[in-house]
Each structure stands twice: as C-alpha cells, then as structure tokens.
Amino acid sequence: MDIRKIKKLIDLMIESDLQAIEVKEGDQSIALTRRNPVVAAAAPAMAAPAAAPAAPRSPRGAVEPSPMVGVFYAAPNPGEAPFVKVGQTVSAGETLGIIEAMKIMNPIEATQSGVIEEILVKNGEVIQFGQPLFRYRA
C-alpha cells in the first residue's frame, strides 16, 4: 500500500476524530487504531490489526456493525433493488450492502443468519467503524 494513502488515512482519522479504521485493497489490508493514554498499564509497541467486531446482542436482536469507515450503499448500482429489505431472511455470508472506502467497494456480509428487522443507515450515508448498520433476529 502506498505511503501517501496511509498518510491520508491518518489525516482522515485526525480530522474525523476516529478511533480506528481498516481498509482492504486487493490482497493488502491495513488497520489503524488510535491509542488513548493509559495510566495503569503501558500499551504494546506494535498492536495487531483489529478484527471485524462480532455482531453484539441487544435486547431487541443482533446488530451488524460496520467493519470500516466509508460511504454505505444499499444496492449494487444506482436505481437497482437493495441487497436486503426489512423482513427478509438472510444467511451468514450473504451481502447486506457495500461500503466504499478509498474508491474501493467492500461488500458487507452478514455474520450470522436471521431476519432483517431494521436498516439503521441510509443509502449514501457516511458511516464510522463499529457503527450499527442492521438489526436482525436470529
């Protein structure tokens, strides 16, 4: 990955006050995490890239979080039907939407099977790492 792209990611993190960002470009990927000052313990010198967060459980169902920062698209192309609709049954691994990050379209796949109960973001909306995208029941 080009060092200029990495610098742009760092600048984006600073400007947007982001805590973490992950970008995949072909077979290359980079994960950047900002460390908060820790008083009690020292942080390791080199942290491993953060894995995509697991779908947390809430009292109203599972939430599918965003694995990266970017622009969310509900359909493969403008004017086409969205990947999923409220009430639709999805299987683990099925595409729920796309996040565009650095001109790369990244499919967002369901981490578990269930029924889509709510779509928490709008088409074309800028989303943050870890932001809830979908709520579904297993």
pLDDT tens sequence across 36-58: 544 444 444 444 455 445 555 44
pLDDT tens sequence across 14-25: 777 777 777 787
Q: What is the extent of the structural domain holding 122?
A: 57-137
Percent of the residues in the chain that have a pLDDT greater than 70, as a whole number? 78
Reply yes or no on whether the pLDDT at 74 is more than 80: yes
Which pTM was predicted? 0.56
Residue 26: inside a domain: no
pLDDT at 104: 87
CATH number for the domain that contains residue 132? 2.40.50.100
Burial state string for 69-99 with b = 16 or more CB within 10 A and e = fewer than 16: bbebbbeeeeeeeebbeeeeebeeeeebbbb
CB 83 within 8 A of CB 99: no
Domain tally for the chain? 1
pLDDT at 40: 46
Residue 81: inside a domain: yes
Residue 95: inside a domain: yes
